[in-house]
Amino acid sequence: MLYSKITALAVAILPLFVTARFYYPATTNVRLYNEPNYDGEIQDPYIHRCTDLDPPLKHNLGSAQIKRGHYCDIYRHAGCNGYEGRVYDGNWPDLLRYDPLSVYCDILSRE
């Protein structure tokens, strides 16, 4: 009896997991630093959604390492408002010219 209830629950929940769009930290794809040359505090932003920067990266984005096939848009206001620029895949040792509060990172489309 208990087995059949557990099975029914699993079958009912399974479609939610199959169709859900997952947002995940980009720990292996994008890494942001508050100091130039990949030094200092680290923040790993999300992919497919806006990430508000945590202190000490707020107003102090020093450098970024972005894996191939990814990019990040940099915004001067929270909630990804006030576009400042885009950084593509690669190593960006000095991003101090930007004054960001948020970033939007995603996967480059294959067009």
pLDDT in tens, 53-87: 999 999 999 999 999 999 999 999 999 999 999 99
Cα distance between residue 111 and residue 100, in whole Å: 29
Task: pLDDT band for 109, please (50, 70, 90 cuts).
Answer: confident
Taking only the tens place, the pLDDT of each residue in 32-52 is 999 999 999 999 999 999 999
Q: Is the dihedral of CA 72, 73, 77, 78 positive or negative?
A: negative
pLDDT of 11 higher than 70: no
Q: What pLDDT, on the 0 to 100 scale, is given for residue 14?
A: 55
CB-based contacts of 11: which residues, under 8 Å, 6+ apart?
A: none
Of 8 and 69, which is predicted with more confidence?
69
Domain boundaries, the chain: 30-109
Q: What pLDDT, on the 0 to 100 scale, is given for residue 16?
A: 52
Cα distance between residue 98 and residue 34, in whole Å: 12
Residues in the chain: 111
The CATH homologous superfamily to which domain 30-109 belongs is Crystallins (2.60.20.10)
pTM of the model: 0.73
